[in-house]
Structure 1
């Protein structure tokens, strides 16, 4: 994969960072369009492009050569430590070599602090800690960021713009610049490298566009210190504490923040913010800039608020009738789940004197029995595949 050189295009209401590259001997173009930041210039080095295209190159088993300047620190970390880490998390990737025509160790004079704001529990929790009177001056948020790098699902472009406009009112109340970044990055990841598996590196590529002015990027953690690890997983967030420093440059430090809290602690903290009553957005399945009230993330948040006696505060953001329709089945699901974010709700409910009823456990048992045949079939297939593989009659699927 050849990347570069970088081209910056100034439009009337936005700035575009674009770069041509080759992948599987086909010419491609990656672009980022940055809006609502008239006083900020984009960096003209290849740091963002390198970070955005690293995993697609590792999937294709193609070495990268950059025909432009890149951060010396970033190049070193992506060639060594970061690949060692990500290969543990996504084992079907391949180690590659990265080279560049020029390296730079220059430090920009930026002092800004930026954080993504999606109005979810994690990002609201970060606002509570890093945009407050008690926040340390060097880490107090000065800018907010809203990206389109693959998280908006069906109706991606439309939802991205709808959600940005909905959140902009709140950012204006805080008097914070709210930068919108659209990109075609998702086009190069495919189904194998889905968003949840790769969201950290996708989002970390964006603030590097702004490192002439931004010194710190705060990425809201999903998991507590108790739950983080490096290893095979469906969610890249489990390793954010270790990976984000490796995506930093001489000018911009990337941080994972918020792992000192459990998800329940974050939710209770966010429920003290009146701003969240107007714009809290936790949904992963809605086709509009609202919460569907029945996906797992909506139900997890609503059940926590319900147990805490805070549910009515969010009646404008959720359809509580829909929540009540799905509540009992969701409780059964969480009682048999291995997800740490669901298991902690079970423990907490007991701690606050609201343990789930025997009926819920019976429903959970029935749900478990219902899923046993499918799970048993999966387990039975494993030794059969191993035997067939040993005699050359089966080959595990390879992703290239």
Structure 2
């Protein structure tokens, strides 16, 4: 059972501190979110935020969520569809949740006139900012999501870049920190399951100031594979106070990169790296290389101060395609390379895709053989039992035949017939 209690909002020296006590299978402790001063957070927003976190924990563990605090009626209703989607994607990993959670009879009036957008400094979040710049009032970033809280060496330069982007665009920056990923990691993987729910929970904490939250899309509408933030899923985390918008799924990552390449703030502050090596962008991980390829093909890479000015073909050959997520981005770059007539890059990317497809076919074939073997195994066991029984029956028949022959040798058959007639009164 997942139990969430003592949801609280309090002021401290750093600003606004939101917390709750979480008890769940295998873990117990305080989950917290630190927000900057003057953040308008209230108990309703905090309850909704922790409900989303609790639901993910429940479907990822034993399927029971208990809360004392009342939650948005619309959010509770939407949560059934949200967990249906997630359980359809991960039927072996997740279970249906039973909710013991009170509903609020009504919510406070939403602030429909203000919008906050999730912002990491990456291609997706810059693209959302560029296309919706006149509508977005604030940018929100949480330390403890993609950068661990312990990595202060990465946090400090990241914070500096975020502040400069906010200053350049004239947007409010809401920069906070949290430990909720420590709990969510027990329910499933961050990219494929939990990160969209985590981002939505922060939106609910800000629902005293904003009526809309934008979550930049990772993929397009044509990419139908499971992902933690998804056009089918994100809007279902909305309440009557907060509307959540999955933004940007109409564009490929290459199309977004082309737009971002012309934006002055992105040239100074683009950050895509997840390796946390101590550098703002490491320049060698898959995300860095894929982004540098797209910028190189568009002719804009030398203008980006957070990357090297060139990308080598060897670096492209060393890219790893680990699944459908990375395959989609490599395929987009491959299409762009063909369009640009960049034959060396095209050849390197094409080899990566071909190698992945070959490995997938081998894996699928191995899986098919394994599945067939699993079906055959019980049949073989049943056949072995039948053969064993037949051998036993044959052995008994042979023994009986030997006994009859032995008896026939002792007395003639007519004598046995007379004995039998006399015994049974014939």
> What residue in structure 1 maps to residue 338 of structure 2?
350
Return the alpha-carbon distance in structure 2 between the equivalents of residues 333 and 58 of structure 1: 29
1:236 aligns to what?
Answer: 228
| 1:164 aligns with one of 159, 171, 178 | 159
Q: Which moved more, 1:67-76 or 1:148-157?
A: 148-157
- Greater relative contact order: 1 or 2 (C-alpha under 8 angstroms, separation 6 or more)? 1
Please identify which structure carries the higher helix content. 2
Point out where structure 2 has 5 or more consecutive residues left out of the alignment: 382-426
Equivalent residue number for residue 261 of structure 1:
251
Once the two structures are superposed, residues 340-380 of structure 1 have per-residue CA deviations (whole angstroms, 9 ceiling, x without a partner) of 22112222222233344786489559956996898489537
Q: Which residue of 2 aligns with 1:396?
A: none
Do structure 1's residue 339 and structure 2's residue 327 form an aligned pair? yes
Is the CA contact (8 Å cut-off) linking 2:110 and 2:242 kept in structure 1? no
What is the root-mean-square deviation of aligned Cα atoms in Å?
3.2
Q: State the Cα distance separating 1:192 from its structure 2 match.
A: 6.1
Output one character per residue of 1:181-222: Cα deviation in whole Å (capped at 9) or x when no partner.
Answer: 211111113366121122111111111001111100000001
What are structure 1's unaligned runs of at least 5 residues?
Answer: 133-139, 394-400
Task: Give SS of 2:249's match.
Answer: coil
Once residues 385 and 220 of structure 1 are traced to their aligned partners in structure 2, the CA distance between those partners, rounded to angstroms, is 44
Contact in 2 for aligned 1:332/1:363 (Cα 8 Å): no
**Do residues 317 (structure 1) and 306 (structure 2) align?**
yes
Give the aligned partner of residue 20 of structure 1. 21
Residue 104 of structure 1 deviates from its aligned partner by 3.9
Please point out which of 136, 155, 179 is paired with 1:184. Answer: 179
Please state how far the C-alpha of 1:292 moved relative to its aligned partner. 0.8
Give aligned pairs, total. Answer: 373
**SS of the residue 1:254 aligns to:** strand
* Worse-superposed segment, 253-262 or 148-157: 148-157
Task: Report the CA distance shift for 1:279/1:75 in structure 2 as closer, same or farther (over 3 A).
Answer: same
Residue of structure 2 equivalent to 1:245: 235
Rg larger for: 2
The 3-state SS of whatever aligns with 1:21 is strand
Post-superposition offset of 1:286: 3.4
- Secondary structure of the structure 2 residue equivalent to 1:249: coil
Give the alignment's TM-score, normalised by structure 1: 0.83
Instruction: Please name the residue that 2:423 is paired with.
Output: none
Q: How much has 1:70 moved relative to structure 2?
A: 0.8
Asked if structure 1 preserves the Cα contact closer than 8 Å seen for 2:39 and 2:206, the reply is: yes
Does the Cα contact within 8 Å between 1:299 and 1:330 map onto a contact in 2?
no
Cα distance in 1 between the residues matched to 2:176 and 2:301? 33
SS of residue paired to 2:70: strand
TM-score (normalizing by structure 2): 0.78
